[in-house]
A and B are shown apart, each in its own frame.
Chain A
C-alpha cells in the first residue's frame, strides 16, 4: 500500500505540494496526473525518500538511472548486491523486461526504450509490494506500451499497489482503477475512474422516429437538448436512462442511442484549466 497524508513541500515561498493526501491499495493501479509543474515528480521523490517533505509524509519505491559506461546486467547486479539479493535475480528481471539478450551491452548503447525497460527491471528486482512509476512508458514503442500494460496488470494481479504519474493519459486510462489529479500542488480530483469520467457532463446522442418531439419533451423536462441537422438529438447533463424513459413515455421509437462519456483526458484538461479554447 502507498499512503500519502497531508504532504506539503515548499521551495522557499513556492508551495510545490500542498496538503496532499491519497492512497493506493494493494492490487490497485492509480494514475497520478497533473500539468507540468503541478508537483507530481516532487511528490514521487518524497514518496521514495529522495526529497524531504516540509511537513508529514508516507510511502514507497522506484525509478533508477544509469552510469552510461556500465553494462545493463551489471547495473542490476550492483542493485541486487546492495539489496542482498542473489545475482541470478538480475538475470531473471532482465528476461522479464525482454532485455535478456542485451544485458552484456553498456547502457550508452541502449535506446531510450531499452533504458526504460532497464529502469523497470530495477524496480522489479526486489519483488516490491508497491511500485511508483514516473512516466514509465517514455521511449517505449507501441509494442512496448502493450508489454508495459500487460506487465502492470500482472503486477496488480499479484497484489502490488501501483502509482503511475504520466502525461500519456489515454494510454494509462486503459489500465488504471483510480486517478488523482493535481494542479498547483493540490489534489483537484480523486476517485474511481468510472466516477471521474461519468456525469455531470454526459452527452447522449439519440436517433429516433420523431426527433423534433423528443427535443421538445426533453427541454420541457429541463434537459439541455438540441436537434442537430442530421436529425440526431443531443441531450446534455442527463443520464441515458432518463432520455430513454421520456422517449418511451411519448411513444417515440429509439433507433440508436450512444453515450459520450468524458475521457480521463477531458477531466484532466477541465480540472487543470489546460484545455485549449475552441476555434
Chain B
C-alpha cells in the first residue's frame, strides 16, 4: 500500500518544475563551487588529502543543501497550496503519507546528489589534473567521496521532508534549517568542545567525505561514516515520529 503512496509522491515531484529546477541548480552550483574552491585553494593545501577532499566533496554538499530545501518545499508546500487536503482524502493514514513523502524526497535527493557529484567529478578532477595535483587518495576513497555526497543528498531530502511536514510552513522551515546549519551549529562548535563530532554539520561533513576543517574546527574530529549516517537517519526518524504525533491531531483548514 505504501508503494503506491510513494509513487504518487514521486509523481508530485515530477509534475511541478521545482524539482527539475533544483536538479539543474545542483549541477550548476556544484560545478561553480567546486571550481571556486579548487581555484582558491593553494597547491600546497591541495597536496594534502584534506585539500583534495574539500574540493571533491563540494558536489555532495551543494546537492545536500538543495535536497534539504526540496524536501522542505515539497512537504510544507502541501500545506501552503492546500494539496494536503486531497492527499489525505485519498490516503487518510497520515503516518503513511508522511513516510511516503520522506522516502520520495530522499529518492529525489539521491538524484540531486548524483547530478551534483557528477558535476563535481567532472570539474574537480579536471581542474586538479590541470594543476598537476596528486590526489593522494585511492580510487576507492575517491569514489567513496562521491557516493557519500549522493547518500548525503538523499538523507538531506528525507530530513527536509520530515521537517517540512512537522512545521507545515515553507518559510519557517527553510529559515530554521539554514539558521541551525549556518549560524547555530558553528557558534556551538566554537563554544563547546567535542560538539562538532556529533553536530549536524559534523555528520554532514563525515558523510560527504570532507575534512574536519570543513566542519569548522580542524581539531574537532568527525564521526565515522557509518555512525554519521546512522545519527542523521536517527534525526530524520525522530522528526517522523514527531510528525506522526502532531499530524494525527492537526486540523487541515
The answer on a CB contact under 8 Å between A50 and B18 is no
Complex A-B: 15 CB contacts under 8 Å? A50-B85, A50-B252, A52-B248, A62-B86, A62-B89, A63-B86, A64-B89, A65-B82, A65-B83, A77-B11, A78-B12, A78-B15, A79-B90, A81-B4, A81-B8
Size of the chain A interface, CB-CB below 8 angstroms: 28
The answer on a CB contact under 8 Å between B8 and A78 is yes
B87 on the A face (CB < 8 A): yes
The answer on a CB contact under 8 Å between A52 and B16 is no
A82 on the B face (CB < 8 A): yes
A45 on the B face (CB < 8 A): yes
Closest to B88 in A: A50
B34 on the A face (CB < 8 A): no
- The residue among B5, B16, B77, B88 with the most chain A CB atoms within 10 A of its own CB is B16
What is the bound-complex CA distance between A63 and B252, given in angstroms?
Answer: 12
Closest to B86 in A: A64
The answer on a CB contact under 8 Å between A66 and B89 is no
A127 on the B face (CB < 8 A): no
Q: Report B-chain residues with C-beta under 8 Å of the C-beta of A52.
A: 248-249, 251
Interface class of chain B by DSSP? helix
- Tell me, rounded to whole Å, the shortest Cβ–Cβ distance linking A166 to chain B: 18
Q: Of A50, A70, A83, A126, which one neighbours B15 at CB under 8 angstroms?
A: A70
Given the contacts A48-B89, A81-B4, A81-B7, A66 and B251 also touching, CB distance less than 8 Å? no
The answer on a CB contact under 8 Å between A65 and B15 is no
What is the bound-complex CA distance between A52 and B88, given in angstroms?
Answer: 13
- Chain B 79-115 per-residue mask, 1 if CB under 8 angstroms from chain A, else 0: 0011101111111100000000000000000000000
Given the contacts A61-B89, A62-B89, A65-B83, A82 and B4 also touching, CB distance less than 8 Å? yes
Q: Which 10 A-B pairs have the closest CB atoms?
A: A65-B82, A64-B86, A82-B8, A51-B251, A74-B15, A50-B252, A81-B8, A69-B16, A82-B90, A67-B81
